[in-house]
Structure 1
Amino acid sequence: MLITVSKSPGEGYSSLQEALDSIPPQQKQAVTIRIKPGIYEEKITIVREAPPILLLGEDPHSTVITWNDNAHTLGADGEPLGTFRSGTLNVFAEGFTAENLTIRNASGPGTGQAVAAFVDAGQAVFRRVRLLGDQDTLYTGQGRQYYGDCYIEGDVDYIFGAATALFEGCHLHNKRSRGYITAASTPEGAAFGYVFLNCRITGADNVSDVYLGRPWRPYAHVAFIRTVMDGSVTGEGWHNWGHPDREQTSRYEEYGSSGPGARPEERVAWSRQLTAEEAAEYRVLTVLDGWHPEGY
């Protein structure tokens, strides 16, 4: 099933949410929603009952989904939305793919938690997607998630959550000094949390002392494999979030880091530099437990 969304009259739906709502409840086969270039100012929800969905843009710089809720925004009930209802794109479907899009939370710096993509799907794939925000840009709630050739920016805990998520060839951009890239809440016993393969990290002008991560929950797992890091990354690398006990349970790992931010001799003692043999186990199929992230 193919649906088109466009800002040009007569080319399909003008609203992405209207297009999603048009999918018949009995639809089981995959649905592709082709999104023509334009700025779509709307808050999007893909319900749990939805069939496999592919949101397909033409170009990530010209196809933009944007909204500006944050944790303090009042909802319809008159109460603050909180972090988990602030998302611009909210994905609950079992199978989901997005390609060639920008997803932005335009709330702005200093407004608190403001999620661009809230991903609570069983299997989710993002390819060539720009995720723009400040604090809490990307929430990875559950399941297995794959991000390929994506651009993700933020300042505080801008990739956070419990899912097993693999980031391959992605660009992470730090917008503020003394920030944190990841805040993993990996469940106890999970083999993998966040794995970054062949990525790069940059910072805005004069940004420094950014940590690779801090443990939102005690068993946080994050691994950076062959990542190029600029000088915005602090030598310590990792922060315990004021919980010294989590130094014993968190798993923070690196292998083959390069660039000015790669200073293994300065890393906190409770992080690890992997051996070549250990790093070789960090492959897509292994991390995602046999699932190959093809498009839906």
Structure 2
Amino acid sequence: MRFSTLIWTVGLGAAILCQAAPTKRNNGGQNKGTTTYADCQRPKPQGQQLSSCPNGTVYVSQTDPQSSFGSIHDAVLSLPDDDSQQWILVGEGNYHEVVNVTRRGPLTIMGMTEDPQDYKKNLVKLWYSSFINQTTQTSSQDNADAVVLTVSPNRAASLIGVGPAGAPLQPEFGNVDFRLYNVDVANRATVNGKEFPGQTGPSAALLVAYANASTYGSTFASYQDTLFCGRNGSLFAYGGEVKGGTDFLYGFGTAWFEGVTMANRECRGAITAWKGSSFLYGPDTFGVYQSNGWVVRADDALPDVDLTGSCALGRPWNNASRSIYKNTYMSEVVLPAGFIEWQSTEPRLVPNLTFFGEYGSYGPGYKPDQRNQTVGALLTEEEANQYTVEKVFGGMPSWIDLGTATIK
């Protein structure tokens, strides 16, 4: 069902693009072909690791004495705060740290790997342990304080805030072209010193706000609020995987995932929880879009938890929410009704404003006769064609690597 009129409103401006994978699941969700930095990313003999890399590439390694830095954080801090283009190559390893990218100039971070087109072979792990305890949360704490990788000009621009409109708009814009290749990013929330396999509170792996970002063959894992795409943030994800259990894709802006696996560790809330408003923040470009991907049970979901028919596709964070699935495999974990209201006492559904839809869904979790079409629509081909990368972003963004991504 189409929804619109304004009650709950929110920010706009972020975009996530992820490029399509083949209809059949293979090779970690990406097409076999060429990738821009494959030769640079492949492991090489000591002293030759930067061969085939762009001139000036900064090398990070925990074990190679010829590297410039042992942490990604330090490498990022070493870069000039200007508009120059920079590259970082990260060697195999587990990097326990928080990384903040605030510079404006283009930055590419590449994880070392034998096969850039198979995210299951990634060799670089970036992780941290943090979460926001919403029971004891103070007024000075924000979801942005529990993030592993942040791409934003400053903390004020990163803030999620509260209420229908969230944090105030900011005047600055951060990175114009951030790219991440073959890095596994995880927020491993801990309780009493031990990693907790379940919901603890907001604990994002990635936050993008007031910046343009794209990811290729990378993965993002948490249990709650895994990936946030904030105001004036544009994110394109090609291949890879997102793991979560509660509202694990959320944000104010526009996000397009193509060929990405959505892996459910639990089924709380929904896969997407989005806000949007063309009234307060300009052009109607908000929403979260998923194309040619897969919705499945996570490989590390607790074995005694039955997720069958339990995972909702999306729910409205405000009543201007938009969430679209195109040509997506729906496994048995998908809720037969599809999309849901925010909650029974506060549905946040407004006709002709709230918009949930799917087209070309297939698999055991796609049950068109059981979809709740008072909440989500089964789109026609003509309607689905209104949602393409070019139409959502007003043309093909220059910050997408079309040498690696194949957009269908």
Return the match for 2:354 from 242, 247, 250.
250
Change (3 A) 1:284 1:105: same
1:18 paired to 2:74: yes
2:6 matched residue in structure 1: none
**Match for 1:64: what amino acid?**
K
1:161 paired to 2:231: no
1:6 matched residue in structure 2: 61
Deviation per residue, 1:8-61 (Å, 9 max, x gap): 223221011111111123x322111111111110011011x3311111112353
Q: Distance in 1 between matches of 2:348 and 2:104?
A: 41
Deviation per residue, 1:59-96 (Å, 9 max, x gap): 353101100111139xxxx9874312100001112321
Change (3 A) 1:80 1:192: closer
**Match for 2:129: what amino acid?**
N
1:207 matched residue in structure 2: 307
Contact 2:128 2:188 in 1 (8 A): yes
3-state DSSP class of the match of 2:366? Answer: coil
**Match for 2:326: what amino acid?**
I
Q: Distance in 1 between matches of 2:109 and 2:385?
A: 33
1:66 paired to 2:127: yes
Q: Distance in 2 between matches of 1:122 and 1:50?
A: 8
What is the Cα deviation at residue 291 of structure 1?
2.9
2:218 matched residue in structure 1: 129
Change (3 A) 1:82 1:260: same
2:145 matched residue in structure 1: 85
Change (3 A) 1:197 1:122: same
Q: Distance in 1 between matches of 2:368 and 2:185?
A: 34
**Match for 1:16: what amino acid?**
I
Give unmatched runs, 5+ long, in structure 2. 1-55, 114-118, 153-174, 190-195, 403-408
3-state DSSP class of the match of 1:237? Answer: coil
Contact 1:166 1:288 in 2 (8 A): no
**Match for 1:11: what amino acid?**
S
**Match for 2:389: what amino acid?**
V
- When the two chains are superposed, the root-mean-square deviation of aligned CA atoms in Å is 2.0
**Match for 1:294: what amino acid?**
I
Q: Distance in 2 between matches of 1:167 and 1:132?
A: 15
Deviation per residue, 1:254-279 (Å, 9 max, x gap): 00100111112212223111111122
**Match for 1:164: what amino acid?**
T
Q: Distance in 1 between matches of 2:325 and 2:186?
A: 25
Q: Is 59-68 or 213-222 further displaced after alignment?
A: 59-68
Trace 1:133-148 onto structure 2 (pairs within 5 A): 133-142=222-231, 143-148=233-238
Give unmatched runs, 5+ long, in structure 1. none
Alignment TM-score, normalising by the size of structure 2: 0.67
Q: How many residues align?
A: 290
1:103 matched residue in structure 2: 185
Q: Is 225-234 or 185-194 further displaced after alignment?
A: 185-194
What is the Cα deviation at residue 159 of structure 1?
0.4
1:279 paired to 2:384: yes
Q: Distance in 1 between matches of 2:268 and 2:149?
A: 27
**Match for 2:289: what amino acid?**
V
Deviation per residue, 1:130-179 (Å, 9 max, x gap): 10111000001133221110200100000000121110101000111344
Change (3 A) 1:37 1:90: same
**Match for 1:246: what amino acid?**
L
